[in-house]
């Protein structure tokens, strides 16, 4: 992202949290709203998943488009999500467990680089934010909330 952003005319503003408490999220979103950022992209940290409802609530309150790595974000009001296909990951995990149970050392099993991803878009959220999502993008989405 850091390499691509300047070529796309995008300025990234890191919003790092010292802790993952509700007050920290509230402060971070307040600062982003005050700085007038155009959108929020959250990482796939487990703590963010735990606080996903709070994150969506804060994005809605501050009228910030929210993008994240889990389709759950879109289902509860986030704008866009892009995540690896869980079915592919779970099938690979089962294969890994089978190989380990048959005696293969875990360190010898290659790490999976996901080849299939799922895109989710919440059109209700887009409309509430006054955003128009191109029809070509909606057509490619795996999960659309209308």
- Domain extents in the chain: 4-145
pTM for this prediction = 0.84
For the chain, report the end-to-end CA distance as a whole number of angstroms: 29
pLDDT confidence band for 2 (50 / 70 / 90) = confident
pLDDT tens readout for residues 106-126: 999 999 888 999 999 999 999
At the fourth CATH level, the homologous superfamily of domain 4-145 is Response regulator (3.40.50.2300)
Structural tokens at position 11? 């300025």
Contact at 8 Å (CB) between 29 and 51?
A: no
Mean pLDDT of 10-36: 89
d(CA 139, CA 142): 8
Question: In whole angstroms, how far apart are CA 143 and each of 30, 66, 82, 119?
Answer: 30, 16, 10, 6
Centre a 10 Å sphere on the Cβ of residue 62 and count the other Cβ atoms it contains.
Answer: 15
Helices assigned H by DSSP within the chain: 4-7, 22-35, 46-50, 52-61, 71-75, 86-101, 123-129, 135-140
């Amino acid at each position: 992202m850091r390499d691509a952003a300047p070529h796309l005319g995008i300025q990234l503003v890191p919003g790092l949290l010292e802790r993952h408490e509700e007050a920290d999220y509230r402060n971070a979103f307040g600062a982003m709203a005050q700085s007038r950022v155009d959108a929020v992209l959250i990482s796939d940290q487990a703590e963010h998943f735990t606080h996903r409802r709070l994150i969506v609530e804060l994005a809605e309150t501050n009228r910030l488009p929210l993008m994240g790595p889990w389709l759950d974000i879109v289902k509860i009001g986030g704008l866009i999500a892009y995540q690896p296909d869980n079915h592919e990951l779970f099938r690979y995990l089962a294969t890994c467990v089978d190989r380990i149970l048959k005696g293969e050392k875990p360190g010898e099993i290659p790490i999976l680089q996901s080849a299939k991803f799922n895109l989710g878009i919440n059109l209700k959220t887009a409309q509430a934010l006054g955003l128009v999502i191109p029809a070509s993008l909606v057509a490619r989405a795996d999960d659309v909330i209308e």
